[in-house]
Amino acid sequence: MRRYMPVIVSALLLSCAFSASAVTPNYSISSNVTTITVLWNNASVIHLSATNSLVSIAPDHQAVAWVQESVIGHWAPDGVTQEVCVGTLYVAQNGTDPIQIERPTSSRGIDINPDSPEDGLAWNPKELQWDSKGKYLYFMTVPYNDSGLLCQLRLGSATPRFISFLTFYRLLPKRRGSDWVEALEARFEHQEFADGMTVRDWTSTYIYTPEEMAADKYVRTVRTSSIGKDWPQQ
């Protein structure tokens, strides 16, 4: 039995070494009350404040996005003073240095309003979601008073694309190809009533396909869906 021990030990060491080398490096996070740490292959990439940061990891853990907020002003709706925060979005992929994502001034024929702290408006990506294939990152921001903007970022690009005006959104994974987007939108129209012209509005769910979202010019989709009870309540 004794003379077979080195062979057994060598086989075990070889097996352990093979298992370790077969592990794919990936992103993960470690957090506590004050700090969020983004890790690549268990090595620290960046330390973020837990109070003004947001992190989202792609489904395959080969990409990560985070937002860092900063205060750029204050406004006082209804006499109550509130902070106005701008957010800077970063994306890192496969252990490479993170890139800062540009804040567009226009996209797909839609002009994006500049930051206006006195009106409570600022570019601040929220609701980060990766599609199921890890190819696109979606997020909402609110540079408009009456609705948010849904944007799409293709992994490897530094410039997001406008997708839709909306209140909420969710992704609809498909077996093949990229996810579709279900957007809860509001429509407005002017109507004549007895007391004068008034704006009438209603909400509906519109479904955007990858082909529609890839178009150079924005056109609201004709696909609609009934609003489910699981939508967040305003």
179-198 per-position pLDDT tens digit: 999 998 866 555 666 666 55
Domain residue spans of the chain: 25-225
pLDDT at 224: 86
Categorize the per-residue pLDDT at 4 as very low, low, confident or very high, splitting at 50, 70 and 90. Answer: very low
Beta strands in 76-179 (DSSP E): 82-93, 99-100, 106-107, 110-111, 122-130, 136-142, 148-154, 161-166, 168-172
What CATH number does domain 25-225 carry, 3.50.70, 1.20.120, 2.40.128, 2.60.120?
Answer: 2.40.128
Burial profile 109-140: b = 16 or more Cβ within 10 angstroms, e = fewer: eeebeeeebeebbbbbbeebbbbbbbbbbbbb
Q: What is the mean pLDDT of residues 107-132?
A: 93
